Structure 1
Amino acid sequence: MFKSLLITLLLLNLTSVQAAGNSYENPVIRKVSTQQFVASALLRKNDQNATVKLVQSIENATSREEASGMLLNRIKQEMQGYSVLETLVSPVTESKQGCETWI
């Protein structure tokens, strides 16, 4: 009796593992919608002079916070020696012309 119960449990586990294994062949891909944002940052050079620089970029992100983080990471990597004074992130409205030269 114990032996048949053990064999039954093993067979049930084997079929559930096979069913789960088949679901990995066709994974569910969720598309996250992104939007374009204009991200701007006002920088100050870390020296005795009052050097100020404005940096702007267009970022594809899911939120304002993500777009700001993308710009801040780029500044941290590419513009060492500068401190960020302020950031501003605004969504880009879609143009019917499909061109962003008006920004």
Structure 2
Amino acid sequence: MVSEINDQNFKNEVLESDIPVVVDFWAPRCGPCDRMSPIYDKLSEEYKGRFKFGKLNVDENRQTAMKYYIMSIPLLLLFKDGQVVSSIVGAVHEFEIRMKVEALL
């Protein structure tokens, strides 16, 4: 299941998470973001309990988007122990996301 991340819950859901987290920075106006959504949903089910998946709408949560210098979307940031450890820019194949996730487990 993909969690809805926002400015208010970002610290608790991402930075203080006991397991690694992938945050999808997206916006409703983004066509490539829409195309990535089914892949993201699938991976969130596959890695349930071992990796957390969340989505943050950059149009509605500007504070967090600015903090992480989000300039283009879709952008995936991978967090472990509260730190960004990897990123994926743009619409990519499922394999690329899976490789980054597996590297953190």
**Please, what TM-score do these two structures have when normalized by structure 1?**
0.23
Q: If you compute each CA radius of gyration, which structure gives the higher value, 1 or 2?
A: 1
Which structure has more relative contact order (CA 8 Å, sep 6+)? It is 2
